[in-house]
Structure 1
């Protein structure tokens, strides 16, 4: 059993938490969305006695702090991304300089929660500051988190970089935050996430923080994966492999280059487009017995492309949104394993294993 215990901010339906459970790490996730909480609790209910817990605290992370979770020595979080995404409002991207100024103010001890809630008229933008508030509060209480792991869309990379500066000044080892490509870690989709990892330096914990190294080849449109790749890299995983389904083409809901008339297309031999809350709008076209059929990905298939277990117990009415908002558990497993310096598996790879799924 690991000596780590995680408190996960903005935990969603459990992307990172499923990975933590499979790696033997107990975790408590804070999430405000009732449907996502229902999904998490349905998963929790079926966990085997004696396995690491995966608990849920329904509520707003701004109403809590480290003191409520005294056993947690690892802080993780994936704040809402809608105001930073290209497909979203863009409020976070427009207010980036203001967000960075708030980080500087927090480093000087200021509580910016009320002011941050007003950034550019989108309350979600200021939530990106919450993990730093928790980290600084824990330091002030004399119980610094041993590790901190944060993820968001690529537009948030400058925020992570500024937070890295603040944490380094407080005795954390923080490698330069990077944008990781999910297909390079065995996830059957091309998704990019900005990642920050940090480890607290003390005599009892001399380990330096590190990001995971790719295990799979990078996807390049029109270029087949190498069948004899370097020994350290496997071919990327296709949609067909993940879904055990073949001979289909996905026509994206999004336009190539921002042009909605130029819909992107990928075959079952390629990774999926980024799985978002609108994945159900993608058209899946196949030809069977000479007849063209068109359907949509089911929730189960969307979850598989996001690397959730096949029978993950999705609950509520906004399942596609839950799936799209989550970090892929397989990517999370790679990040946790590297950041926490967990022993590698015998086969050298990270894999999600859960009895019953």
Structure 2
């Protein structure tokens, strides 16, 4: 496996195209599986993280890139992957996308049927659909673009992920991909979609994702990736008495879900670790509990809690607002700590020393696909097998990238900035307080 970004031309041999790439969850997964990837990302902060990590990147709008710069995508790309922005579909948001599911299903069918895209775009705008909701159509547009572009081969494998609310849309995708009808021009895929729980793949947090996997017909049937860990019971009782009792208990056998303490302790033990759990360690054990930033059952005054012997809550862009207490006494006295960016990244299964860069780093962490889940899905999509123990063990540490490589990737991704998204490099500066 080569080091990230070390080739003379970073785009040589790229196989995976990651739309809406974020800081690189799927790219990191591809790297540890031995594949090169290139990502398209709109947010300049996420791009800075990607450059620092040695991940080839186009700082661009996915839609604009498809329409005007499609020829810049390497011919070697045969895997299309991506997770369109989920805010409008997420249960944490207002849910405008969930309310528009039936409408979006119809737009998916219209795209494949051969209707003029300009008319479809006009209808999308006239219906005042959240622009982020419309981005769920982009993977299909990229797929059709590859099929209809002379000299291009259809993508061999497609991997898409989103929040669970999008599963009905992935189901429509799968039906159409299997049919080969309309603009697919007879190109057919074996395709299926499922809800996958991250803790069942060794991710130390509870997070459910809707995943679609498709392969060109002739490459074998698509089946659901096999889980490696047990699910975590989200409905368990957690009154104060139960919490105090559970706080002192070691939970679960080796094949149970991975706890926060186990993941963070493992990262802490690595050479040159960016994680330090000593502040939570007592008598040789790491113990704490987390009080979520989110309310429980809709009650903002009743915050959810997780013990260090349990998986984390879903790591979101608000992860830095979660409060961590060492003891019940600290909780009663409101003496709390916070997860660092490195620790939050480890709970997402990023390497402990992943070079988070730019601003809004907590948001970058929360927006990312957990790389360990990505490794399972990509490995299964490409080879029908789970990632090897060696590959999983090797994903704990990221190889440092030289400043020269970072500069080269920034030049590829941004150049002179004339083709970057409009105003994306504009940095707002805080207003200076008037002197007295």
The question of a shared fold, defined as TM-score above 0.5 by the shorter chain, is answered with: yes
Counterparts of 1:125 and 1:167, CA distance in 2: 21
Q: Output the TM-score relative to the length of structure 1.
A: 0.88
Aligned pair partner of 1:236 in 257, 261, 280:
257
Counterparts of 2:156 and 2:307, CA distance in 1: 43
Aligned pair partner of 2:138 in 105, 108, 130:
130
Shift of residue 243 of structure 1? 1.3
Aligned pair partner of 1:227 in 242, 253, 258:
253
In structure 2, the residue matched to 1:57 is 58
Aligned pair partner of 1:89 in 69, 94, 100:
94
In structure 2, the residue matched to 1:280 is 320
In structure 2, the residue matched to 1:194 is 210
In structure 1, the residue matched to 2:105 is 100
Report the 3-state secondary structure (helix = DSSP H, G, I; strand = E; otherwise coil) of the residue aligned with 2:327: strand
Aligned pair partner of 1:263 in 282, 292, 303:
303
Q: Does structure 2 conserve the Cα–Cα contact (< 8 Å) formed by 1:117 and 1:124?
A: no
Report the 3-state secondary structure (helix = DSSP H, G, I; strand = E; otherwise coil) of the residue aligned with 1:12: coil
Structure 1 or 2: more helix by fraction: 2
Shift of residue 344 of structure 1? 5.2
Q: Output the TM-score relative to the length of structure 2.
A: 0.73
Counterparts of 2:313 and 2:398, CA distance in 1: 29
In structure 2, the residue matched to 1:313 is 355
Counterparts of 1:355 and 1:86, CA distance in 2: 33
In structure 2, the residue matched to 1:179 is 195
Counterparts of 1:5 and 1:279, CA distance in 2: 32
Pair 152,117 (structure 1): closer, same or farther in 2 beyond 3 Å: farther
In structure 1, the residue matched to 2:157 is 147
Report the 3-state secondary structure (helix = DSSP H, G, I; strand = E; otherwise coil) of the residue aligned with 1:263: strand
Q: Does structure 1 conserve the Cα–Cα contact (< 8 Å) formed by 2:353 and 2:398?
A: no
Q: Does structure 2 conserve the Cα–Cα contact (< 8 Å) formed by 1:95 and 1:120?
A: no
Q: Does structure 2 conserve the Cα–Cα contact (< 8 Å) formed by 1:75 and 1:145?
A: yes
Deviations 1:306-350 (CA, angstroms, capped at 9, x unpaired): 011111111122001100000000000000000011665554984
The structure number with the bigger radius of gyration is: 2
Aligned pair partner of 1:212 in 209, 222, 225:
225
Aligned pair partner of 2:364 in 322, 330, 336:
322
Q: Does structure 1 conserve the Cα–Cα contact (< 8 Å) formed by 2:375 and 2:387?
A: no
Q: Does structure 1 conserve the Cα–Cα contact (< 8 Å) formed by 2:379 and 2:387?
A: no
Q: Once structures 1 and 2 are overlaid, which stretch shifts more, 59-68 or 80-89?
A: 59-68
Report the 3-state secondary structure (helix = DSSP H, G, I; strand = E; otherwise coil) of the residue aligned with 2:154: coil
In structure 2, the residue matched to 1:71 is 76
Deviations 1:127-174 (CA, angstroms, capped at 9, x unpaired): 000001111222223611000000000000011000111111121001
Structure 1 alignment gaps of length 5 or more: 45-53, 229-233
Counterparts of 1:263 and 1:288, CA distance in 2: 15
Number of aligned positions between the proteins = 339
Pair 94,320 (structure 1): closer, same or farther in 2 beyond 3 Å: same
